[in-house]
Amino acid sequence: MSVQNYINGQYETPSSNEWLDNFCPATGEVYGKIPNSSKVDVENAYIAAKSAFPSWSQTTLEERSRILIKISELLEANLQRFAEAESKDNGKPVLLAKEVDIPRAASNFRFFGNAITQFASESHESVGHDALNFTLRQPIGVVGCISPWNLPLYLFTWKIAPAIAAGNCVVAKPSEVTPMTAYLLGEICTEAGLPKGVLNIVHGLGTTTGQAIIEHPDIKAISFTGGTATGAHIAKVAAPMFKKLSLELGGKNPNIIFADCDYDTMLKTTVRSSFANQGQICLCGSRIFVERSIYEKFKTDFVQKVKALKVGHPSESSTNIGALVSKPHLEKVLDYIEIAKQENGTILCGGNKVSVKDFENGYYLEPTVIEVITDECRVNQEEIFGPVVTIMPFDTEDDVLQMANKVKYGLSATLWTNDLKRTMRMSNQLQAGIVWVNTWMMRDLRTPFGGVKASGVGREGGFEALRFFTEAKNVCIKY
Ligand code: TXE
């Protein structure tokens, strides 16, 4: 099946006539083609967006809300089709796509369809000066949205929904590794009555198509989710062009377990926070620190549960761990497992490719638990982004806080304790944008979402996203 660009409300082939192979991670086979769009395609998408902007930016909030909610309803009505497409493209279990990815994409549109009607701006009366200040929050114009392969439609729509809700028009590029659901979204938007040119989707490599977007002088803001290295590159290109940037990058998140936690809930959730989506979520708790008094018990119980996880074809309902997204990514994760051994880590379980019957060429890997002897080893410092976690004990709060913060990332942290004062002490000092206590990945879309340090710049979610996608103008009237 060949993917096409969606420009000005129409599907079209790339002017470059350059095509990339689209692989199915579960089988390792090529199952379609993806455009490698050129600067010309990006310019055409920009022109369509620019032409649609005057009318869309003046469309009433009620009408914008109605269209976004209609998109949400159509995604829900096509749940199975989108879930199967997402799974085939990414390698994740169909059930996971059906329960998480596609419903969340629908929620993104519904949430911002409602939020835009509640997005108020402020006014200030200059008492004694007979003057009134009020703030206009105006859409930026044409904005760029670039998203990664791990949660394809989930993250693609997490950017697009607030951007168009705020009255902007969009040039969007999904990952070239997982283009399918973004491609299918085009027809849904047309059916929902989204005016042509408001959303334009161009497919292709980051270094060609993505680069053309970030270099475009009139695309005034870039919302990006992906690797830290790419985020730094985008910032370097965008800085002299004074583009607004939202960068949601990598993570190496601590999962800190104190002896006073609700043990069974912690254990069950820790299996999920370690291996959900094959560990390919920037929020996964990939560094597990356990208070020494329960470390041996945890090690035994956790390894036993991890060994029980089933690696299989994503379409099987019994599959817990599907295929990794690509062969190069599988090799990268395997390299890290070798590095762990060279650093005297102990592979407590996993560490090997899996040959799934009838799908021997798929990109399958066992969920892997590595006991490390120091927090400063590479597998504890670098983002692996696969079904691999490290574990080690700690003695005091200060010890674990110091280790948790001693990485270049600062996206999320998970904390397991029933001690309220400890919760506040740790939450205040953890260098992260998100702290989950006695839970993981509980998401309220109104909350600010993003990280610090090498995990990025800016926040998505709720009014933070609508602020990013608008410019604040202060008007002061003397009367
Ligand atoms: O990300 P990239 P990749 C991490 C994870 C992963 C690493 C690299 O560690 O192994 O990043 O993954 C586009 N101009 N995360 O290679 O390269 C690219 O086409 C403009 C964490 O997938 O950052 C894709 O659409 N765009 C992350 C998007 O950027 C460019 C999730 C992300 O690709 C570009 C995924 C350029 N020069 C990976 N180069 C998270 N935070 O969830 C690439 N792109």
Q: Which tokens is 415 given?
A: 């904390």
Q: What is the DSSP letter of 206?
A: I
State the number of CA atoms in the 13 A half-sphere of 395 facing the CB: 0
Q: Known catalytic residue: 248?
A: yes
The DSSP code sequence of 379-443 is HHHS---SSEEEEEEE-SHHHHHHHHH-SSEESEEEEE-S-HHHHHHHHHH---SEEEES-SS--
Neighbours of 238 (CB within 10 A): 21
Nearest C-alpha neighbor of 203 from the set 182, 233, 184:
182
Q: Is the CB of 173 inside a 6 Å radius of any atom of ligand 1?
A: yes
> Tokens 């269209």 sit at which residue?
67
Structural domains in the chain, sorted by start: 5-249+455-478 (3.40.605.10), 254-446 (3.40.309.10)
Angle subtended at Cα 320 by Cα 316 and Cα 323, rounded to the nearest 5 degrees: 75
- Residue-wise pLDDT tens digits, 244-274: 999 999 999 999 999 999 999 999 999 999 9
301 has a pLDDT exceeding 90: yes
Percent of the chain with pLDDT over 70: 100
Nearest C-alpha neighbor of 455 from the set 426, 422, 430, 423:
430
Nearest C-alpha neighbor of 173 from the set 131, 206, 150, 135:
206
Average pLDDT, the chain: 98
Q: Whose CA is nearest to atom 18 of ligand 1?
A: 206
- Residue-wise pLDDT tens digits, 408-430: 999 999 999 999 999 999 999 99
Angle subtended at Cα 111 by Cα 203 and Cα 46, rounded to the nearest 5 degrees: 30
Percent of the chain with pLDDT over 90: 99
Residue 175 CA to ligand 1 centre (angstroms)? 8
Residue 238 CA to ligand 1 centre (angstroms)? 16
pLDDT for residue 169: 99
Residue 250 CA to ligand 1 centre (angstroms)? 9
- Residue-wise pLDDT tens digits, 355-399: 999 999 999 999 999 999 999 999 999 999 999 999 999 999 999
Q: Is the CB of 233 inside a 6 Å radius of any atom of ligand 1?
A: yes
- Report the C-alpha dihedral over residues 200, 38, 280, 150, rounded to 10 degrees: 20
16 has a pLDDT exceeding 90: no
- Residue-wise pLDDT tens digits, 151-164: 999 999 999 999 99
Nearest C-alpha neighbor of 152 from the set 173, 172, 181:
181
Angle subtended at Cα 226 by Cα 220 and Cα 230, rounded to the nearest 5 degrees: 70
Q: Is the CB of 176 inside a 6 Å radius of any atom of ligand 1?
A: yes
Residue 444 CB contacts under 8 Å (≥ 6 apart), including other chains: none
Average pLDDT over residues 138-144: 98
Alpha carbon 64 to its chain centroid, in Å, reads 24
Residue 231 CA to ligand 1 centre (angstroms)? 8
Out of 24, 189, 282, 284, the active site residue is 282
The DSSP code sequence of 88-100 is HHH---HHHIIII
Mutating to test ligand 1, I would choose from 42, 146, 154 the residue with most ligand atoms within 8 A of its C-beta, which is 146
